[in-house]
Chain A
Amino acid sequence: MTAAELLLSLFPAGHSGREEGSLLLGSGASPEGEVAVLGTAQGLEVGAEEALALAAFVLDVVRRHPARPLLALLDSRGQRMSLRDEILGLNGYLAHLATALELARQRGHRLLSLVYGEASSGSALALGFMGDEVHAVEGARLWVMNLPAMARVTKIPLERLAEVSRTSPVLAPGLDNYVRLGAVESVWQPPLAAALSQALRREAGPDRRSERGEERGGRLLARRVAEAVRGGRGGGG
């Protein structure tokens, strides 16, 4: 699905987006009101300029459109990998984007993320996974590393990785794995506009991903370990 098709499907009532160098910035009309839209297309690798442009958009929404929901659409292979971006401190630019999104959340803006293409590393962390809820459409590709590369880097035999991946969602790329781990809340089925409306009508809550991971059997320890360290309410004291 292209960005254009996606926007049409999400906002049948109309949207005004612009795609500049694989950045998506704009808004769409939904029954719940105008929704600010930001994101990436064509697997864009997010560098300092792009992170800054996305952050600028978020800050503009916070300044001029109180409580307007923000929908992040993600098709990105991760951060731009270059010496030049590392010299500039790309980690700081991505942190700035994530902080801007958090500011929006704290100011009452609903944050939703929808992965429609690829999602990995820096842009997943700074943008895609920052939503109150993170959803995906069928065909979305979430990954850390493909298994053959992982075998080379970790020196663990590929057969071993593949065998473990038959029952564990932890290693191999794949949308189903991310759903099972709680990283993705749900896979939206068409009509996407209806799924968006339902999501917009839900209130934002705390980060529930470790709860989901436990419910779905993908991560059996994260929630309870955090609770034990957090203490209170019968926890670790």
Chain B
Amino acid sequence: MSDRGIRARHSYREATARRRLAGLLDEGSFRELLGPEHRVTSPHLAALDLPAAFDDGVVVGAGLLLGEPVLAASQEGSFMGGGVGEVHGAKLVGLLERAVRERPRGVLLLLDTGGVRLQEANAGLVAVSEVMRAVLAARAARVPVVALVGGGFGCFGGMGIAARLCDAVAMSEEGRLGITGPDVLETTKGVEELDASDRALVWRTYGGKHRYLLGEADRLLEDDLEAFRTAAAELLRVSARPLDLEELEREHRQLGRRLAEFGGAADASEVWRAAGVERPEALPLLEAPEFLRAVAGARRGGR
């Protein structure tokens, strides 16, 4: 009989951005920066007569993770789809720049976002670009940055690129990661390209299990705050991805192999079969521990 059922599980996906931080960091350790009482809201949403959020949809601050200082950001996906606008993006940039100054154990980015906030369009695009530059500057300064993806809005658009600039990505099965998300893909290329209402297809394509098998995600977690906390601490401890030529050439070869092996796949299940998974059709049904056992030999990447 497993003892896992004894500890209560708290869904990461169902939690608000603030609840996720509270569950991830050491109790009572979080100190918010530029919190809601500062009311730094989006002037662009106001110009469109749209509701504002006092924190513009992202909570940033400092705390402890297993006793070690970290900086953390948590996006509230349910506000404007987690879209990045001018203020939201600037909070992320400031946090990453702070990390280069203070050199904490690392930075945790709890991403739950469709990408650029369309209601701020051009300002959102340059904001995401500035976030990307800031993540890379932290990497260059050798401050580890870890992306956590498990919210209901996924991690798409330019933030899907930003996630993969980080030293590591941890995903739950519920999490989704990509650049052109299912709704945008269907709207732009038609339902024949991808039927966004086909949940099984969406999760095969963008979901944590596929990303883990492909090597796009470094960890596949249960949908549980405690699991994310443990994984975040562990990923900050393992060596970061060095920003050097040797590492990049290694990753380049890996990406080339991926294309060669799976470039002809019309569905993720074909990738799994080609990767050597015995019963690919069973993968979506497996709980995380069984899934990890089932793909141990087939998994690409591996940090």
Contact = CB atoms under 8 A, between A and B. Distances in A.
Contacts, number: 257
Contact of B94 (A100, A144, A227): A227
A89 B125 contact: no
Contact of B118 (A150, A183, A209, A229): A150
Contacts of B206: 86
B258 A124 contact: no
A181 B128 CA distance: 13
B119 A154 contact: yes
A7 to B, nearest CB: 25
Contacts of B26: none
A156 B216 contact: no
A42 interface: no
B36 to A, nearest CB: 14
Contact of A156 (B48, B93, B127, B263): B48
Of the candidates A52, A63, A231, the one having the most CB atoms from chain B within 10 angstroms of its own CB is A231
Contacts of A153: 118, 187
Interface residues of A, number: 81
Interface in A199-237: 207, 209-210, 213, 218-223, 225-232, 236
Given A103-B244, A210-B93, A86 B178 contact: yes
B252 A221 contact: no
Given A156-B119, A210-B130, A225-B90, A98 B165 contact: yes
A63 B119 CA distance: 42
Interface string A103-147: 100110000000000001110111001100000000000111100
What are the nearest 4 A-B pairs in CB distance?
A229-B94, A95-B164, A91-B160, A225-B90
Interface of A: 48-49, 52, 55-56, 59, 62-63, 79, 81-96, 98-100, 102-103, 106-107, 120-122, 124-126, 129-130, 142-145, 150, 153-154, 156, 160-161, 164, 168-173, 177-178, 181-183, 207, 209-210, 213, 218-223, 225-232, 236
Contact of A225 (B91, B126, B210): B91
B98 interface: yes
A230 B47 contact: no
Interface of B: 33-34, 40, 43-44, 47-50, 60, 86-87, 89-91, 93-95, 97-98, 101-102, 116, 118-130, 132-134, 136-137, 139-140, 157-158, 160-165, 177-180, 184-185, 187-189, 193-194, 205-206, 210-211, 214, 216, 243-245, 248-249, 251-252, 255-256, 258-259, 262-263, 265-268, 271
A90 B255 contact: no
Given A81-B180, A94-B164, A98-B161, 4 more contacts: A82-B185, A89-B178, A226-B97, A230-B101
B290 to A, nearest CB: 23
